[in-house]
Amino acid sequence: MKKTLRNCLAAVAILAGTTGAALADLSDILAAGTIKIAVPESFPPFGSLGDEGEQVGYDVDVAKLIAENLGVELELVPVTSKQRIPFLETNRVDLVIATMGANPERAKSIWFSAAYAPFYSGAFAPASVEVGTVGDLAGKKVGLTGGTLEDLELTKIAGDDVEIIRFGDNAATMSAFVSGQVDVLVSGNTLAAEIGEKNPDIGLERKFILKDSPAFIGVKKGNYDLLQWVNVFILHKKLGGELNEISLKWLGQPLPVLPTF
């Protein structure tokens, strides 16, 4: 009986050791000389297929910067939203940099770094339009896509003197704003970035943030050294201005203050 128990305990110990060794922590990545990072498959401007057939975007630039600072080769792994956590849990990637928000449910499965990118809903307009708060929307025509998070949030807090014009999809909302049918655009920052990039003459500015839900880097549970390194990396690139440059490049907006843990 005792011998059987000892054999069982030994087997558990071996299994635990094997499981631990399989985790791609910082030392494993440095030894292998390669890091696999999940990025958005098709979610511009954070990640999508570029004109030359390779992934481009905000998250891709961050992934490249991480590999450069680690001194290792980068293997990009394009993923859909549903693939992000499973790919990390099954060791198909070492990190997930794919506009992923942090919440208590996801935190049951993986670890999160400090925020590295802004992802929010806000009010956008040319510099000539004086808007700084929801109250300043009074008397103005505000365009948004009906039924979206932006619609729900603004409807809750806007006064009766705000004219909210709802459109059927983002394309219609974009067209209405660009053609001057509305004074202010309320949308996600990705749509605003697309409008700003295609219509630089408008001089689009972020006026205020309606709902903030920044993006965090996903790290597999147990990879403590890698998580610590990623947090130092994010801090270093905030202070050095590299993340601000990436935000200006892809979102057309300066990097806002982002939360940390």
Q: What is the CATH number of the domain that holds 221?
A: 3.40.190.10
Helix axes 58-70, 242-251, angle to 10 degrees: 160
pLDDT of residue 6: 44
Each residue of 187-223: pLDDT tens digit? Answer: 998 899 889 888 999 999 999 999 888 999 999 999 9
- Whether residue 9 lies inside any domain: the answer is no
Write down the pTM of the prediction: 0.76
Both 148 and 192 in a single domain? yes
Q: What average pLDDT does range 23-39 have in this prediction?
A: 92
β pairing state of 141-145 and 184-188: parallel
Both 99 and 66 in a single domain? yes
Q: What is the mean pLDDT of the chain?
A: 89
Using omega within 30 degrees of 0 as the cis cutoff, is the peptide bond preceding 118 cis?
no
- Whether residue 10 lies inside any domain: the answer is no
Pair 85, 96: CB distance under 8 Å: yes
Structural domains counted in the chain: 2
Domain span at residue 75 reads 24-119+213-251
- Whether residue 14 lies inside any domain: the answer is no
Each residue of 48-86: pLDDT tens digit? Answer: 998 888 999 999 999 999 999 999 999 999 999 899 999
Q: In what order do the strands lie in the sheet with 204-212?
A: 163-167, 141-145, 184-188, 120-126, 204-212
Both 71 and 43 in a single domain? yes
- Whether residue 96 lies inside any domain: the answer is yes
Both 207 and 219 in a single domain? no
- Whether residue 71 lies inside any domain: the answer is yes
Both 172 and 201 in a single domain? yes
Both 92 and 205 in a single domain? no
Tell me which DSSP letter residue 220 carries.
Answer: E
Q: Residue 205 class from Cβ within 10 Å (0-12 exposed, 13-18 middle, 19+ buried)?
A: middle
Both 50 and 91 in a single domain? yes
Q: Beta strands of the chain (E only): which ranges? A: 34-40, 48-49, 55-56, 73-79, 95-100, 110-117, 120-126, 141-145, 163-167, 184-188, 204-212, 215-220
The single residue listed with the structure tokens 């708060």 is 133
The first and second tokens of residue 93, run together, are 């990637």
Both 71 and 185 in a single domain? no
The first and second tokens of residue 23, run together, are 């985790």
Closest CA to 36 of 81, 82, 79: 79
Both 124 and 110 in a single domain? no
- Whether residue 258 lies inside any domain: the answer is no
Each residue of 238-255: pLDDT tens digit? Answer: 999 999 999 999 988 889
Both 66 and 99 in a single domain? yes
